[in-house]
Amino acid sequence: MRIGIYGGTFDPIHFGHLLLAESCRDACRLDRVIFVPARVSPHKLDVVIAPVRARLEMLELALAGFPEFRVSRVEVDRQGPSFTVDTLRHFRTEVPDDELFLLMGADSVTDFPRWREPQQILELATLVVVNRARAVPDLSALADLDTTGHPPLSVPMPGVDFSASDIRRRVQEGRSVRFQLPRPVEHYVRDKRLYAAS
């Protein structure tokens, strides 16, 4: 099987995330996309994030009814910062015969060389990079790495300028986030008073 691994904070999951996953599923003929919420993102150590349980419940609400999309607890159940290389090693062991694709937005590939063990990541999976709004993936960020084993792929998606941090800010200001995230997730945010002004 061809498996997409899609890591993020998903605080909250929004239509930009879902469209990224669907664009990659379609373009790369993926059998499954596994959303992997980070317990603690090494890239966001200074940001206060919603509890794991809330982020998992929002993912479950957003992905219900889409059997190709799954959620993995592998990072939330592991102590310490969530390093992608550890996650890919986990899936390599769990599904040794499957082909792994690591999905990310254009902003993430720019940071990628500073991730833990980027060369190992490129040996374990094919990078699939999607434009973020109008930011086109710049694969030259990978120039100092050896990508000959698994050449990275660039996948276009209709530019959607949504971001979780902007959604959290809007909720805090009491502004509308309708049509930026699935309705059940919007209701969850409201009912649990996530991101509300304290």
Binding residues (CB under 6 A) for ligand ATP: these are 8-10, 16-17, 20, 104-105, 107-108, 130, 132, 160, 162-165
User: What distance lies between CA 143 and its chain's CA centroid?
Assistant: 23
Nearest residue (CB) to ligand ATP, 153 versus 160: 160
Question: Which sign, positive or negative, has the C-alpha torsion 171, 50, 32, 2?
Answer: positive
CA distance 126 to 149: 9
Compute the least distance from the CB of residue 160 to ligand ATP, in Å.
5
Token readout for 103 is: 């999905």
Compute the least distance from the CB of residue 152 to ligand ATP, in Å.
14
Nearest residue (CB) to ligand ATP, 87 versus 96: 87
Per DSSP, which regions of the chain are E strands?
A: 2-8, 32-37, 69-71, 99-105, 126-130, 153-155
Nearest residue (CB) to ligand ATP, 80 versus 156: 156
Compute the least distance from the CB of residue 108 to ligand ATP, in Å.
4
Compute the least distance from the CB of residue 170 to ligand ATP, in Å.
12
One-letter amino acid for residue 163 of the chain: S
